[in-house]
Amino acid sequence: MTFLETTLFVIAIYIVLVLVRVILGPTIWDRLLGLNAISAKIIMSIIILSLITGQSYLLDVALVYALLGFISTVLIARFIEKKGDIS
């Protein structure tokens, strides 16, 4: 394995560990925190994949993923804060 493939493997292990926190999490905000951390780690994995294969269009996917992760986290947080009343 090259260095970058090893890095990808380690990040995958971290994602699985954070997923355990998301499943165990006593409150819903713990699950949101885990979702935020997983989204940051997936952006890193996509960039590593783009560096390994040498194809730069994968970076656009990473950019869209960053925007969607941010919007979904803020939307769910606001939804819980208003107790489901989104008007």
Partner 1 sequence: MIDFLAYLLIVIALIFMSLGVIGLFRFKDFYSRILISSKIETVGFLTIMIGFIILSGLSYAAMKILLITILVMITNPLSTHAIARSAFLSGYTINQETRL
Q: Which residues bind partner 1 (CB under 8 A)?
A: 3, 7, 10-11, 14, 17-18, 21, 26-27, 29-30, 32-34, 36-37, 40-41, 43-44, 47-48, 50-51, 56, 59-60, 62-63, 66-67, 70, 73-74, 77-78, 80-81, 83
Q: What is the dihedral sign for C-alpha 21, 25, 28, 30? A: negative
Asked if 86 and 79 count as a contact pair (C-beta separation under 8 A), the reply is yes
Residue closer to partner 1 (CB basis): 27 or 87: 27
Query: Token pair 């998301």 is at which residue?
Result: 22
Residue closer to partner 1 (CB basis): 57 or 87: 57
Residue closer to partner 1 (CB basis): 84 or 87: 84
- For residue 23, give the nearest of 15, 48, 53 by alpha carbon: 15
